[in-house]
Structure 1
């Protein structure tokens, strides 16, 4: 909890220190999460798991057409597997801290933006379901940390409303080495959200 408080405090302090124009925002939406499993040079992706995200962020206007956008929020990741006989779901919730750089292009209704940047994630929980029934797992199968890059784009309207599309590509193995020998798992998340800038 202290880390979350310090992260939020840092965002607000940075906003007071620099930035040509500083705006604060919230966004929420749906995640289509997946994981890529790799072993011995081969990789496979399973079915997407539908989850959600909720983020707060600060938009620092470095120039009229460029901004830095750090944020913090929760994001559901994981995957779904359907063998035809059984359907399994793995839902892992993370606290994500992204820092994105955005290029903004003025249009009649506001701005179009494109950008990207790194993110760091800390696992908050993990849940398992088999054929819709929750399973109790005594031991964790996933590492605490996640790290990757975001690619995003969207629309920023003159009234503050935003429409966002984001693709998060995990760069590190999130599965514990003791689970499956020589197998790595990396998160992939495509998300769509609606937000508002204040």
Structure 2
């Protein structure tokens, strides 16, 4: 909590260097499972989405601190698998609220912007 408070105060003190964005996109998630120690490799990718608000705070021309709040869907499909003599189909839909805390490095290559993110996130489902 102290770290988050310090980060918040740092950002508020230099609001002129902060930009806010809406981010959205496609998630392609998969889940691996084990039942009674037996690995099941019959899951298939389940498309999902992510959408949320992002705050970018510039530290230098290249580096920025990025955080926000993202609603994400993740999951997997299990089809036509025989587990213990029973076959069927199951779909998992998991909703997460993720809060990323990232260091962002970005560079403009002649009109094409490239960036990379590094850092943890906290997710609640």
Q: TM-score range by the shorter chain?
A: 0.7 to 0.9
Residue 86 of structure 1 deviates from its aligned partner by: 3.2
CA distance in 2, matches of 1:26, 1:13: 22
Q: Which residue of 1 aligns with 2:119?
A: 117
The answer to whether the 8 A contact 1:81-1:89 is kept is: yes
What is aligned with 2:100? Answer: 98
| Structure of greater Rg | 2
State the Cα RMSD in Å: 3.0
Paired residues in the alignment total 115
1:50 deviation in Å? 1.0
The alignment's TM-score, normalised by the length of structure 1, stands at 0.50
Query: Where do 5+ consecutive residues of structure 1 fail to align?
Result: 1-6, 124-198
Kept in 2, the 8 Å contact 1:77–1:93? The answer is yes
Point out where structure 2 has 5 or more consecutive residues left out of the alignment. 82-86
Residue 24 of structure 2 corresponds to 28
Q: Structure 1's 40 and 61: CA in aligned 2 closer, same or farther, altered over 3 A?
A: farther
Q: TM-score with structure 2 length normalisation?
A: 0.75
Residue aligning to 1:73: 70
